[in-house]
Structure 1
Amino acid sequence: MRARIEDALLAQRGQLIGWVPVCLGVGIGTYFALSFEPDVLLMAGFTIAAACLLIASRLVPTAFAPLLMALVLVVAGAGIAKLRVAAVETPILTFRYYGAIEGRIVNIDRSASDAVRLTLDRVVLERMSPARTPRHVRVSVHGQQPLAVFTPGDVIILTGHLSPPAGPAEPGGFDFQRHAWFMELGAVGYTRTPVLRLIAADNTTVAARLFALRMAVSRAVQAAIPGEAGAFAAAIMTGDRSGMGQETLRDLRTSNLAHLLAISGLHMGLLTGFIFAVVRYGLASIPGIALRWPTKKIAAVCALAVGAFYLALSGGSVSTERAYIMVAVMLVAVLLGRKALTLRAVAIAAILVLVWQPEALIGPGFQMSFAATTALVVAFGALRKVDLHRLPRWARAVLSVILSSFIAGIATAPFAAAHFNQIAHYGLIANVLSVPLMGVLVMPAAVLAVCLAPLGLWWIGLGLMDIGLRWILLVARTVSAQEGALGHVIAPDWFVLPLLAFGLLACVLIVGRGRLIGVAVVLLAAVLWQQTSRATLLVADSGALIGLNGTDGRALSKPSGNSFVADIWLENDGAPVAQEVAAARDGLLIEGRVTRADLGEWQVLQVSGKTALVALRDCDGADVLISNQIDAGPRPCAVYDVTRLRNTGALALDVAGNGDLRITTAHQMTGQRPWNSWQGPWPAPVTLSYAQQKRAAEATLPR
């Protein structure tokens, strides 16, 4: 048996590089999943243990050494994440602020509600010391204001509302506080007052000149190509999506073409691949150069340089930086005389990204990018063994496009479903009809436009782009208009996606029959996803909204207000509808500003407004009281007023198998970490037993 195990382990040695980012990812994911922050002593202990394992790996038989190295890499991943958290530490606003805000604009974008957002640094807040002032704040600007005159680098002043980054909309949900921590964002808010320029931007810096060039290109492109096609062209050339309409964005998402809008691996790959091909074949056509110069390496250097310029021009978003790293690894492999498209290259790119930005692991961009890349490398590696030379060249090209779209779509579908709770049923058709045109027409035309711009002839390239982009938008509109174009799925439990990812990677990386382990893990993840259940009652951290899950779906306590939270609840249920539709469902008893919800033998009362809370007698027979006001108390029930909810976060209430009422808080799930420690010690989890319910009922009888 030992000999068989050793043989099986030795057979994996050709694929060990692929397990390095997997082990780093396990360590990073474990760190982020902890419900407490490991202190220095604990991390030091693990470091010492890792050092001992590293020494032991030199003493054990060769076959078993990688297992010890895997544990070392897991500890290294946790340590990298810990160091990254400390490196981006910044003050967080700990209260709701209203007053004067001064800061320098570092970014301008739009929110999901299409409001212009200004991200500021060098922030100055009224009556607040610099040590407590957040490093960055983000302000949404409402109303008609001439924001086009502002550019990054301008120092502005305004009067607005700021608050700390919000926690998860429900226990176990997306943690915006953690996301904001890595963006070094200490406060978010809005303003309805005029935004005034205090000091004009210093256009002598490289960053200011790049942004000015970026905005100038965006405006010129949108002027040359009218309508949504021009906004689309500006988005893929400069990363400026401010001109895109919400209806167009919905069509692109529904048809699974939204990835064409974001500057990511596809665009960077198409651009650098086109430049590589043009330079290489151009030099190869000159005999004197082709025979004496390393044309392949020259083409790789040119592609690297153009990709770096594209990265800078597009604003350098995280997804674009990640895409450039992936492309750069493959082009450097060409410079070193190695194969570019291999699992080794993908693994090296993943290692670099995880070391540089470990928090990228838990985001959909990293997961979907590397899922698609890995699947394509594996699939086309297997196709090399298939003899397709009997097919005409055009047939091979068509087959390659269809297979690429199909494989990438299948590989990214589970991650898209887990993060966005939706599946584009006709996404393959839309991508087959659109992606080839992006590669053979749109991106080459963009390069042509840039090359002809100094001669004043860039309208030639833009005209070709216009044709391709109008076709893509037509495909998006047509596909999204089909009945059943978009399906919805329930949000899985937190452990399902890591299991699924590990199983899929095991299928790819394990050599031999051991791949069946990966198949078993994938099937287990699928079964657990199917068995995922949603909380019976959800409570927003504001105390102003509750949602009861029933046979017809989740019923909400009000048709408007807290719409962001309401939309997240309904999407995670796998049944997104308008908030007013959910509010019209049966299940909740609403009497003015008082809402009752029955959970078996338990009753929850939600009260909105100070007047309704003052008029309430004790708990009016309820076991749990929810309020969006401060309650003076005491009351003969569990009370979650707005003060306590700010400390606990959103709530999920369920009846356990023994009849007890279990109340889970968002902060109980996330734990006390650096990005939310300003909220103070966490309240203990609450479970109300039947005996408690009986005593509370008896206490209210005399009244």
Structure 2
Amino acid sequence: RHAWFQGLGAIGYSRTPLMLLEPARNTALISQARYAFANFVRSEIKGENGAFAAAIMAGDRSAMSQETVDTLRHTNLAHLLAISGLHMGLLSGFIYAAIRYGLVLSPSLRHRVPIRKTAAFGALVVSFFYLLLSGGSVATERAFIMAMVALGAVFFERRVISLRSVATAALIVLLWQPEALLGPGFQMSFAATTALVAVFAALRDYDVSLGPKWLRPFATLFITSFVAGLATAPVAAAHFNHFAHYGLLANLLAVPLMGALVIPAGVIALLLWPLGLSSLGFFVMELGISWILTVAGFFAAFDGARGTVVAPDPYVLAMMMLGALGVALWRGTARLFGVLPMLVAAGLWSQTTRPDVLISDTGKLVGVMTGEGRVLSAKSGSGFVARGWLENDGDLRSQEAAARHWEEASSVAAYPLLHARGKASVAAAGCGAGQILVVAGLLERDLPCLVFDERRLRETGAVALYFEGDELKMKTARESTGRRLWNTRRARQ
């Protein structure tokens, strides 16, 4: 589905290096500028720090190592890589403040120019070019629309931060990209933003004091990190099957440097670029990035830094989010009723059961659930599928480790399971009544057992089997998704 909406006809890899015969043609000018800018940033800041800088300034993560990305994910700092509300807010806020105070310092302009509106217009223009340069992900689009609504409110002298601006951003994004609704980026972005706006609006309405003036920035930071982490935790757990035990501490130590040092230094580096002095801004920026990566590495090294959960049924997360929206949107004591569906969803999540047997859509991989976790039929191959199954089980083991005891686990209840891979195995495959045979190929003869071969799997997609006593229940991917444009083969003309 993701590939279909992205317009990708095929994906693959090569075991040998590729040779570029000629440059790509008709490449968008903005894409050329984006990657040229990312290369420039990496030439100024070397190593992982430069890759991080290119990711947050140009949205290009191609140079980041998987180890660094995993470290950030396991400490709940991966959101710093996504050009979203934090980056857009810091950038537009910095530009707005710089233009506003710059105009105030000029006696000739101070009383002749609408300073706040001029600053808002300048910040909006810069934010728009940042949107184009970053690649325009859903999170960046949402952040730009939020910034546009907020800066537009300055023009009309209306309240800048409200749930109406969040709703406006959501409607615009969904009108432009309806498929974004099911993506983790959209869900996490709007969950965090909605929660933050609702909480700070409640603090304002109830006139809650955050302490003395010197303590307020730290209290605001703590509340922001805590609320955003709490709001996005269920979405992250449902989609990625993990949560960071030390995420709050890591965010408290890393996010302030992002706002106070990294983003402003990046803007200054761009302003000094025409003068050939951008290295000064990049030097300061590198110091902040080094601290962020150090914090991530420190907490990721702790035992148990990453917790895992089982993937819930689809309706569980929807029920939980609807309850949370009730708490955020309703008024008075009525909002407490929103807690009920959240508690019910949490209870249903805790009772989630995973399939006893999973069969991939190609028949090349089979997974059997045992008391010690899922056992896989192959130590290598179908790695993406294997990772997905284990993650959804809340299992941190590698594919190789999960395949060590396949022979012992392939007999499940009253249904012994056989798996044939390779031409010789497929040709010799056989089974008896009451058995299950999975064939990674086309079986040309009838057998007395339950067979899943290439022909059948082409119609069903991946298959999940549940054993309830002596009864076998089957659920197929096609039954779950139906026939869609992205999962239906079309005959060639």
Q: What is the match of residue 368 of structure 1?
A: 188
Q: Compute the TM-score of the two structures, normalised by the length of structure 1.
A: 0.67
In structure 1, C-alpha distance between the alignment counterparts of 2:177 and 2:480, rounded to whole Å: 24
Pairing 1:430–2:242 present: no
Q: Deviations over 1:309-339 (max 9, x none)?
A: 1112223333322321222122112222111
Q: What is the match of residue 624 of structure 1?
A: 436
Give the 5 Å matches for 1:668-683: 668-678=479-489
Pairing 1:386–2:207 present: yes
Give the 5 Å matches for 1:350-369: 350-369=170-189
In structure 2, C-alpha distance between the alignment counterparts of 1:357 and 1:387, rounded to whole Å: 38
Tell me the amino acid that sits aligned with residue 662 of structure 1.
K
Q: What is the match of residue 145 of structure 1?
A: none
Q: Alignment partner of 1:495: what SS? A: helix
In structure 2, C-alpha distance between the alignment counterparts of 1:599 and 1:202, rounded to whole Å: 55
Is residue 376–residue 402 contact of structure 2 (8 Å, CA) maintained in 1? Answer: yes
Tell me the amino acid that sits aligned with residue 671 of structure 1.
G
Pairing 1:600–2:413 present: yes
In structure 1, C-alpha distance between the alignment counterparts of 2:260 and 2:3, rounded to whole Å: 38
Q: What is the match of residue 537 of structure 1?
A: 357
Is residue 234–residue 240 contact of structure 1 (8 Å, CA) maintained in 2? Answer: yes
Is residue 236–residue 261 contact of structure 1 (8 Å, CA) maintained in 2? Answer: yes
In structure 1, C-alpha distance between the alignment counterparts of 2:247 and 2:144, rounded to whole Å: 26
Pairing 1:660–2:468 present: no
Is residue 507–residue 518 contact of structure 1 (8 Å, CA) maintained in 2? Answer: yes
Structure holding more helix per residue? 2
In structure 2, C-alpha distance between the alignment counterparts of 1:202 and 1:599, rounded to whole Å: 55
Q: What is the match of residue 62 of structure 1?
A: none
Q: What is the match of residue 515 of structure 1?
A: 335
Is residue 414–residue 434 contact of structure 2 (8 Å, CA) maintained in 1? Answer: no
Pairing 1:187–2:10 present: yes
Q: What is the match of residue 313 of structure 2?
A: 493
Tell me the amino acid that sits aligned with residue 465 of structure 1.
M
Following TM superposition, by how much is the alpha carbon of 1:358 offset from its aligned partner in structure 2, in angstroms?
1.0
Is residue 604–residue 622 contact of structure 1 (8 Å, CA) maintained in 2? Answer: no
Aligned residues: 490
Q: Which ranges of structure 1 fall in alignment gaps of 5 or more residues?
A: 1-177, 591-595, 681-703
Q: What is the match of residue 563 of structure 1?
A: 383
Is residue 605–residue 622 contact of structure 1 (8 Å, CA) maintained in 2? Answer: no
Q: What is the percentage of aligned positions where both structures have the same residue?
A: 52
In structure 2, C-alpha distance between the alignment counterparts of 1:225 and 1:530, rounded to whole Å: 46
Is residue 346–residue 373 contact of structure 1 (8 Å, CA) maintained in 2? Answer: yes
In structure 2, C-alpha distance between the alignment counterparts of 1:674 and 1:247, rounded to whole Å: 36
Give the 5 Å matches for 1:426-465: 426-465=246-285
Tell me the amino acid that sits aligned with residue 386 of structure 1.
D
Following TM superposition, by how much is the alpha carbon of 1:496 offset from its aligned partner in structure 2, in angstroms?
0.4
Provide closer, same or farther for how the CA distance between residues 282 and 387 of structure 1 changes in structure 2, counting only shifts above 3 A: farther
Pairing 1:613–2:426 present: yes
Structure holding more strand per residue? 1
Q: 1:633 aligns with which of 441, 445, 448?
A: 445
Q: What is the match of residue 155 of structure 1?
A: none
Provide closer, same or farther for how the CA distance between residues 614 and 407 of structure 1 changes in structure 2, counting only shifts above 3 A: same
Q: Alignment partner of 2:214: what SS? A: helix
Tell me the amino acid that sits aligned with residue 7 of structure 2.
E
Q: Alignment partner of 1:543: what SS? A: coil
Following TM superposition, by how much is the alpha carbon of 1:679 offset from its aligned partner in structure 2, in angstroms?
6.6
Tell me the amino acid that sits aligned with residue 180 of structure 1.
A
Q: Alignment partner of 1:678: what SS? A: coil
Give the 5 Å matches for 1:290-439: 290-384=110-204, 385-386=206-207, 388=209, 391=212, 393-439=213-259
Q: Deviations over 1:355-393 (max 9, x none)?
A: 1111111111111111111111111112223353861x3
Pairing 1:232–2:56 present: no
In structure 2, C-alpha distance between the alignment counterparts of 1:678 and 1:476, rounded to whole Å: 44
Q: Alignment partner of 2:135: what SS? A: coil
Is residue 567–residue 576 contact of structure 1 (8 Å, CA) maintained in 2? Answer: no
Q: Deviations over 1:110-140 (max 9, x none)?
A: xxxxxxxxxxxxxxxxxxxxxxxxxxxxxxx
Tell me the amino acid that sits aligned with residue 604 of structure 1.
L
Following TM superposition, by how much is the alpha carbon of 1:199 offset from its aligned partner in structure 2, in angstroms?
4.9
Tell me the amino acid that sits aligned with residue 5 of structure 2.
F
Q: Which ranges of structure 2 fall in alignment gaps of 5 or more residues?
A: none
Following TM superposition, by how much is the alpha carbon of 1:192 offset from its aligned partner in structure 2, in angstroms?
4.4
Q: Deviations over 1:449-481 (max 9, x none)?
A: 000111111111001101100000100110100
Q: Alignment partner of 1:559: what SS? A: coil
Q: What is the match of residue 6 of structure 1?
A: none
Tell me the amino acid that sits aligned with residue 612 of structure 1.
S
Q: What is the match of residue 79 of structure 2?
A: 259
Q: Alignment partner of 2:374: what SS? A: strand
Following TM superposition, by how much is the alpha carbon of 1:406 offset from its aligned partner in structure 2, in angstroms?
0.8
Q: Alignment partner of 2:71: what SS? A: helix
Is residue 535–residue 653 contact of structure 1 (8 Å, CA) maintained in 2? Answer: yes
Q: 1:549 aligns with which of 338, 359, 369?
A: 369
In structure 1, C-alpha distance between the alignment counterparts of 2:109 and 2:293, rounded to whole Å: 43
In structure 2, C-alpha distance between the alignment counterparts of 1:435 and 1:389, rounded to whole Å: 19
Provide closer, same or farther for how the CA distance between residues 216 and 589 of structure 1 changes in structure 2, counting only shifts above 3 A: closer
Is residue 75–residue 300 contact of structure 2 (8 Å, CA) maintained in 1? Answer: yes
In structure 1, C-alpha distance between the alignment counterparts of 2:203 and 2:292, rounded to whole Å: 29
Following TM superposition, by how much is the alpha carbon of 1:531 offset from its aligned partner in structure 2, in angstroms?
0.8
In structure 1, C-alpha distance between the alignment counterparts of 2:209 and 2:32, rounded to whole Å: 49
Q: Compute the TM-score of the two structures, normalised by the length of structure 2.
A: 0.94
Q: Alignment partner of 2:410: what SS? A: strand
